[in-house]
Structure 1
Amino acid sequence: MTKLRRNTALLAAAAGVLTLTAPLTATAQPAPLDWSTCEESGLDPRQECTTLDVPMDYTDPDGRKIGVAFSRIPAEDPAKRRGILLLVPGGPGGSSLDQPSGEGQDLPQDVRDAYDLIGFDPRGVGRSAPVDCGLDRDDLALTKLRPWPAPDGSITGNLATAQRMTDACARNGGDLMQHLSTANEARDLDRFRAALGERRVSAWSVSYGAYVGAVYSELFPHRTDRIVLDSSGDPDPTRVGRAWLAGFEKGVEDTFPAFAAWASRPGNPHRLARTAAEVRPLVLGLAARLDREPIPWPGANPEELNGNVLRQTVLDSFYDPDGFDVLARLVLAAREGTVPAPPPGQDMRNTVAASVGTMCNDVSWPAPSARYEKEVAVSRAEHPLTAGMPRNVMPCAVWPWQPKEPPVRITDDGPATVLLVQNERDVVTPLSGALKMRAALGRRAVMVTVDSTGHGAYLDNGNACGDRTVSRFLATGERPRRDVRCG
């Protein structure tokens, strides 16, 4: 469940709205799907699940099939039902299968009245033919999955990790590893739409899911009803995943002042400094000290608190301002030469395999060369908080397969059915990347920029003005006439 809104009501974003209320002219046909009670416990008793068989390889539609798991909670007022609302998860590697019972219940009543809430496990994830590279525990550490250079800036260890992970995926991932891609996820969703007999779909797409929503809107433009892209990354078709990784540079810089203000606030039990200006050098200095003198951390992965673990904690804590205290507690402990209890372990094997496979299959990455060393060096100098990680080498640089199709280019060709919502300070999908998505969509989209901090704007880390604007669009089809800022 997303956290409850703490924001007070703010001024409305715009006086005029564009109305998109034309009814869909076709009635949904009975779905040839076998819906039954979901296996997971603790779900809303109304939620039901099904599995849809789709082609593993869409160039061979009559060939091998895989099952993709879907869930739904039907619209709460059948008389007001408009269609289905896809809850498209982030990632790659994320799931929304349980979200009709979770985040979906945070939606306003008029939205829940109008839509069947649809969750799913993307291909390769969870209950949808899950993939697994068989990675060792050490390679599942976040400081390995994010390619942090060595303290001296060397990337030799990152190259070795990339090759080791790629070899494991090629050896253990199975045939489906070659057919994980954003375009195929979009095709799976359209197969589901057709199986339900729906003419169009609406979607609330978050983070990487926003890219999925944009790709769906590009591949199937006239199957879109009301599409919300929440927290979008740079859709540059020549870079895709590399652009998302690079976005951490700007995202950390955009977010750090908010953390510094919080961490220097009088009365904060986790206060780090007297002034906001002192927080940045404090964190950088501590990271440098931990590079030289790591602190043993039994039970953690890796089992030491080093500079890169601290830097990774900066990224993790910036996803949500409610996580600022996690970083502050770690800083306070490390300054005293101690560590807190290790974070709980998670089984990341499936998530990592699906994530790596999708990013590497979406677009070709440059092969290992001196360019990575040069870009890492430039990044370390310009953005010391991220220490070169966002421009470093990933498994995709040595991926054994070439993409099976060109990357999808997001364009303005199609109906104007898209609303973007974006926080100004987002560590994962910074505003600069979302503006590139906005530019690519052109006349098809309107963008709501929210004066808030954290990843995930709608019903999460945004504000009341942004939430109202998105809710109104989903419930009534009304969008602002032009791009607006919710301050």
Structure 2
Amino acid sequence: MRLSPGLVAAASALLVAVSGCTSFSDSTAPESSPATESSPPAEPEAADITWTDCNDQIQPLVAGRPGSERPLTFECGRTEVPISYDEPDGATMPIFLVRARLAGQTDRIGSLLLNPGGPGASGADAAIGRALTLPEDVLRRFDLVGFDPRGVALSTPVECIPDELKDRMIAAEPRPVSEEQLDAVFTLTQEAADGCAEEYGDALGTFSTTATARDMDLLRQGLGDEQLTFLGYSYGTTLGSTYAELFPDRVRALVLDAAVDPDADQRADAEAGAAGFEAGFDAFAANCTQLIAGCPLGGDPRGFVNDLLAQAGAAPIPSARAGETRQATPGVIMTAIQAALYSTTAWPQLAQGLAAAAQGDSQALFSLADTYYGRLQDGTFSNLIDANIAITCADRDPGQELAEEDIRALAADWGQRYPLFGAGAAASLYTCTVWEAERTPLPERDAQGAAPILVVGNSGDPVTPLPGAVDLAEDLESAVLLTWQGQGHTAYPKTDCVNGAVNAYLIDLTVPAEGTTCPL
């Protein structure tokens, strides 16, 4: 999975504050969704977006956060999109949006549509957070609009994996190499797939990226913009580049930050992820050992983690948090590590959390792991995991699925080559082999005829390594690559150099010179 931690608390509060969430049980589900890669975009008429003032609900969620002093107002919106673009006049599903506006806008350009990644992360949630952090120069010219893609959060959420099964999946062996370990992981995967197939049937195929890209064009029209201005992170780069392929003449500006490699098949993508996280852990370890106050993990953080995994494997580690009955298994520990590698700001918490776990308290590690997978304090989950799998598998070409024996062989191989993350990455390849849904494979993307597109890559990104951004920029006919020599996942808005280049592009459509690199 390629997931991005988000404002889980904010999303949870929005779920309570905003009524009218609709699922397939509330509307007419399609019997099938056989959209194909070659079918041209349908042209249904865009429905109006109904906006309501939800400032009173959102402002308490952001109070006290950096940027909360900005004079922002928030609106919540709803609109309808076709469930199947093969039947554009047929049954519809609701899409939920949040719009943030900065007081005192001048020379407004339009709306900046946002997707934070995942797949499965809430764009409405991201709009709340990014309204506090994006440069004010951009917010003075654009409304910031985040939407929950179909199947996500408040937009017809796909919900078919029970919370207790999610807990078991997270706690499972993270480095499965033996036949017994792989059997256990595959059994959990099959249980999740069976439950979703029983719950949704053929409707699982409606949650594809291609369908969401078509939804985005209806949102563009509903927002009153002649062309799309879009900011996509991680999986959001896949969504944005798919939009550009389907609607190249409707692109005003696309910022594709932390690009997913469009040329990598699922095996290559999984291996790149394993290698990226290994490099990310090495960067974390080097940073820790160079601390003036000393690294709480000692001089060999990798060895410390291996010892901690063995300790938790022998006896799961309890948490000191009041009322917490869970104990940290190796799966929880590795999930916490992955979560922290997304951002250097989480590295101190990870180091202290690993050290505390070795002393018998896993509280900090549970905090990281729960944020990563959308687990709330009451033990319930957002639908992040359900949506992540449903969207990922709806996009997969079934002809590229690997046989089970090949996955087992890769787990053994990658477990040696990428000791912390390789076996788990290999085992994840089993997920879509048992997922029963119609597939809409992603189109090849060159976006011929599109306006200039800005691809942003980070040399130290453990989640979407830099070669993916290089490939995406090469594939898109009009793309220019901006490289940041930094650590962590995504680059904008983290440094003045990156901010200046992206702001100039979004506002004035000025692209940086080919080969521009920003220092750390």
TM range (shorter): 0.7 to 0.9
The alpha-carbon deviation at position 319 of structure 1 amounts to 0.9
Question: 2:419 aligns to what?
Answer: 384
Deviation at 1:176, TM superposition (A): 4.2
The aligned counterpart of 1:256 is 281
The 8 Å contact of residues 149 and 387 in structure 1, kept in 2 or not, is answered as no
Equivalence for 1:476: 508
If the length of structure 1 is used for normalisation, what is the TM-score? 0.84
Partner secondary structure for residue 226 of structure 1: strand
User: What SS class does the counterpart of residue 58 from structure 2 fall into?
Assistant: coil
The 8 Å contact of residues 182 and 212 in structure 1, kept in 2 or not, is answered as yes
State the match for 1:399 in structure 2: 435
Hey, what's the Cα distance between the residues in 2 that align with 1:207 and 1:218?
17
Aligned partners of 2:387 and 2:347: how far apart in 1?
29
Q: Does 1:362 align with 2:398?
A: no
5+ residue gaps, structure 2, are: 8-45, 60-70
Structure with bigger helix share is: 2
Which residue among 81, 93, 96 is the counterpart of 2:108? 81
Name the CA distance, whole Å, in 2 between partners of 1:145 and 1:420.
Answer: 36
The one-letter amino acid paired with 1:479 is: V
Taking structure 1 as reference, are residues 85 and 145 closer, same or farther at Cα in structure 2, changes over 3 Å only?
farther
Change (3 A) 1:145 1:205: farther
Q: State yes or no: 1:129 paired with 2:156.
A: yes
**Quick one: structure 1 residues 301 and 179, their matched pair in 2 at CA, closer, same or farther if it must change by over 3 Å?**
farther
Matched, 1:168 2:192: no
Aligned to 1:13: none
How does 1:399-438 map onto structure 2 within 5 Å?
399-403=435-439, 405-438=440-473
Distance 2:83 2:187 in 1: 31
**Distance change in 2, residues 1:306/1:73 (3 Å):** closer
Please state whether the residue corresponding to 2:507 is helix, strand or coil. helix
Aligned length: 452
Query: Is 1:447 matched with 2:474?
Result: no
Q: How far apart in 2 are the matches of 1:45 and 1:466?
A: 24
> Partner of 2:49 in structure 1?
33
1:111 CA drift (Å) = 1.6
Map of 1:333 onto structure 2: 356
The answer to whether the Cα contact below 8 Å between 1:76 and 1:112 also exists between their aligned partners in 2 is no
**Distance change (3 Å), C-alpha of 1:102 and 1:478:** same
Q: Which residues in structure 2 correspond to 1:176-215 (within 5 Å)?
A: 176-215=203-242
Task: Give, in whole Å, the separation in 1 of the partners of 2:172 and 2:219.
Answer: 32
State the alpha-carbon separation in 1 of the partners of residues 47 and 224 from structure 2. 6
Distance 2:181 2:172 in 1: 16
% identical equivalent positions: 30
CA, structure 1 residues 100+146, in 2 after alignment: closer, same or farther (shift >3 Å)? farther
Gapped regions of structure 1 (runs ≥ 5): 4-29
Which one of the candidate residues 82, 93, 96 is aligned to 1:66? 93
- 2:221 is paired with a residue whose SS is helix
CA distance in 2: counterparts of 1:147 and 1:235, whole angstroms: 27
Distance 1:321 1:410, change over 3 A: same
For 1:321, give the aligned amino acid: T
1:302 Cα deviation after fit = 9.4
SS at match of 1:42: helix
In the TM superposition, residue 368 of structure 1 has moved relative to its aligned partner by 4.5
Structure 1 residues 238, 424: CA separation in 2 closer, same or farther (over 3 Å shift)?
A: closer
Aligned partners of 2:295 and 2:233: how far apart in 1? Answer: 31
Check the 8 A contact 2:73/2:102 in 1, yes or no: no
1:92-131 paired onto structure 2 within 5 Å: 92-131=119-158
Q: Secondary structure at the match of 1:348?
A: coil
In 1, distance between residues paired with 2:127 and 2:163? Answer: 34
**For the structure 1 residues 107 and 145, does the alpha-carbon distance in structure 2 shift closer, same or farther, using more than 3 Å as the test?**
farther
Shift of the alpha carbon at 1:456?
2.0
Q: Compared with structure 1, are the counterparts of its residues 332 and 78 closer, same or farther at alpha carbon in structure 2 (3 Å cutoff)? A: closer
Aligned partner of 1:228 among 240, 248, 255: 255
CA RMSD for the aligned pairs? 3.0
- Which residue in the other structure is 1:15 paired with? none
